[in-house]
Amino acid sequence: MNRLTAHELIDLTFDPDSWESWDSSVRQSMARGAYTDELAAARERTGLDESVMTGSATVRGRRVAVLICEFGFLAGSIGVAAGGRLVDAIERATREALPLVALPVSGGTRMQEGTTAFLQMVKITAAVTAHKEAHLPYLVYLRNPTTGGVFASWGSLGHVTIAEPGALIGFLGPRVYKTLYGVAFPPGVQTAENLHAHGLVDAVCSPDKLAETLDVLLRVLTSRPTLDERGLALPNVSDPATPAWETVLASRRSGRPGVRELLGHSASDMVLLNGTGQSQQSPALILALVRFGDISCVLLGQDRRAQTGQQSFGPASLRQARRGISLARELDLPLGQSSTHPARICRKKLRKADFRTKLRSAWQNSWR
């Protein structure tokens, strides 16, 4: 796989001449002995002073804050200086109320700096958490590879997580796993495509399509209504001349419109999300970021046609719904619901998992 440098990905993804660096010179307080030589060689090889670059840029005119790793600088590893740079940039993005786009590629924390480097992940995670608590979007693009402490912390906290095709993604890399356990890691597990299939990644997207994907996401997440929707009257679409039983029969037609038709005819912009973020996905429930006209929302929609005996509306569907409820709260967006389902639902599974209580709790917590 041809790995892009940080500068190449910036040029490919963001508007021309929009990049503004936020980086100041770093002080390598941990450098000793051979590590000093390794740092000097990395600077010579990449032209950078550290493994991360931070700054702001625009995507189709929308300004965002950017965190990006350079794998050529000591495998994109994060030490004290790089960690401090990331924290400063995240905090500035929060102060300036900017969406945050992270593009990690890293082997993890920097082994030459030991436990001190690992502790930087805690500080970075705290800064990202504060950014999300301010109802600001955090979008992550996992590149090849993203492993170790980087994946376990700020690489896995995105509201939306996208991955590069074929990217190696996981906590333990295959070489470390084999060293620890004496056997090879099962092939095909730690790939972007497999994580997408298991609901841990929302989409797999090549670098040349990333700008387009970010553009749609930012249109949904940063656009705000130009009208006061509270003053809009709802149209009366009922027909009193239609007998009630005909309405009941119409609602039972197998060919009646479903959530996909609703989105196809009504959505101005839409980004389908994938899974629970916890290794499950449910085709029976559509979770999406959607814009209807100039109003954005998180949409939960039961997909009637996707519900079969093997893919019924069950615990995974409710976990996916719970993720949508949390997203609506964190992004300060309305939550929309479209409900249409077959007559028979797998109630036994729902009772066994006690998810009705958990989902009700998620609803209540989302509006506190």
Per-residue pLDDT tens over the stretch 90-104: 999 999 999 999 999
Give residue 132's pLDDT: 97
pLDDT at 26: 82
352 vs 131, higher pLDDT: 131
**How many CA atoms, within 13 angstroms, populate the side-chain half-sphere of residue 2?**
5
Considering the domain architecture, whether residues 217 and 274 belong to the same structural domain is answered as no
Do 213 and 315 fall within a single domain?
Answer: no
Given a contact cutoff of 8 angstroms between Cβ atoms, the answer to whether 47 and 8 are in contact is no
Q: What's the mean pLDDT in 75-89?
A: 95
User: Which pLDDT value is given to residue 281?
Assistant: 78
CB 101 within 8 A of CB 131: no
**Nearest of 55, 64, 67, 132 to residue 98 by alpha carbon:** 64
Is 155 a domain residue? yes
Contact by Cβ (8 Å): 142, 151: yes
- The more confident residue out of 35 and 237 is 35
In a domain, 247, yes or no: no
pLDDT at position 346: 47
Three-point CA angle 260, 261, 264, nearest 5°: 85
Amino acid identity at 283: P
Residues 295 and 356 in one domain: yes
Residue 343 has pLDDT above 50, yes or no: no
Are 209 and 305 part of one and the same domain? no
pLDDT at 344: 47
**What's residue 158's pLDDT?**
97
Please, is 360 exposed, middle or buried when counting C-beta atoms within 10 Å of its C-beta (0-12, 13-18, 19+)? exposed
- Of the candidates 221, 242, 271, which is a domain's last residue? 221
Q: In this structure, is residue 260 part of a structural domain?
A: yes
Residues 75, 179 within the same domain: yes
Euclidean distance between CA atoms 281 and 319, whole angstroms: 9
Summary mean pLDDT of the chain? 86
> Which of these ranges, 59-63, 131-135, 230-234, 270-274, has the smallest mean pLDDT?
230-234
- Give the range among 161-165, 256-260, 332-336 with minimum mean pLDDT: 256-260
Residues 68 and 177 in one domain: yes
Task: Please identify which residue in the block is written with the tokens 């309405």.
Answer: 247
Find the range with the poorest average confidence among 6-10, 120-124, 183-187, 296-300.
183-187
pLDDT-derived band of residue 266, with 50, 70 and 90 as boundaries? confident
Phi, psi (rounded to 5 degrees) for 53: -120, 140
Same domain, 283 and 337: yes
Q: What is the mean pLDDT of residues 164-190?
A: 89
CA distance 199 to 202: 7
Does residue 250 lie within any of the structural domains?
no
Which positions ≥6 away from 137 have C-beta within 8 Å? Answer: 99, 100, 159, 160, 217, 218, 221, 222, 331
The per-residue pLDDT for range 38-61, each reduced to its tens digit, is 999 999 999 999 999 999 999 999
Give 250 or 87, the one with higher predicted confidence: 87
The answer, yes or no, to whether residue 301 has pLDDT greater than 50, is: yes
In angstroms, the CA 66 to CA 167 distance is 20
Domain tally, the chain = 2
Residue 19 lies in a domain: yes
Whether residues 191 and 102 fall in one domain: yes
Q: What is the pLDDT of residues 202-249, one digit of tens each?
A: 999 999 999 999 999 999 999 877 655 545 565 666 666 778 888 777
> Does residue 341 form part of some domain?
yes
Mean pLDDT calculated for residue range 247-264: 76
Residues 110 and 217 grouped into a single domain = yes
Q: Are residues 42 and 151 in the same domain?
A: yes
Q: Is the pLDDT of residue 32 over 90?
A: no
Burial class from Cβ neighbours inside 10 Å (0-12, 13-18, 19+) for residue 201 reads buried
Across the range 183-189, mean pLDDT stands at 88
Domain that holds residue 74: 6-27+34-221
Instruction: Determine what percent of the chain is predicted with pLDDT higher than 70.
Output: 84
Last residue of a domain, one of 221, 248, 282: 221
How big, in percent rounded to 5, are the helix, strand and coil portions of the chain?
A: 45, 20, 40
**Helix/strand/coil for 112:** helix
- Residue 294 and residue 202 share a domain: no
More confident residue, 317 or 210: 210
pLDDT at 264: 81
H runs (alpha helix) in the chain = 6-13, 34-46, 80-95, 114-133, 148-152, 174-181, 192-197, 207-222, 244-251, 259-266, 315-331, 347-353, 355-366
Q: What is the pLDDT of residue 279?
A: 75
What CATH number does residue 41 fall under? 3.90.226.10
**132: Cβ–Cβ under 8 A, 6 or more apart, which residues?**
138, 157, 159, 330
Same domain, 74 and 213: yes
Query: Residue 67 to residues 95, 128, 170, 206: CA-CA distances in angstroms?
Result: 16, 11, 19, 18
pLDDT exceeds 70 at position 353: no
Which has the minimum average pLDDT: 72-81, 153-162, 243-252? 243-252
Distance CA 264, CA 276 (A): 24
**What pLDDT is recorded for position 226?**
65
Q: Which of 221, 248, 273 is the last residue of a domain?
A: 221
Cβ neighbours of residue 215 closer than 8 Å, sequence gap 6 or more:
59, 60, 62
- Tell me: pLDDT of 69 over 70: yes
Written as one letter, the residue type at 338 is S
User: Stretch 326-351: mean pLDDT, rounded?
Assistant: 73
- The answer to whether residue 100 sits within a structural domain is yes
- Is 234 part of a structural domain of the chain? no
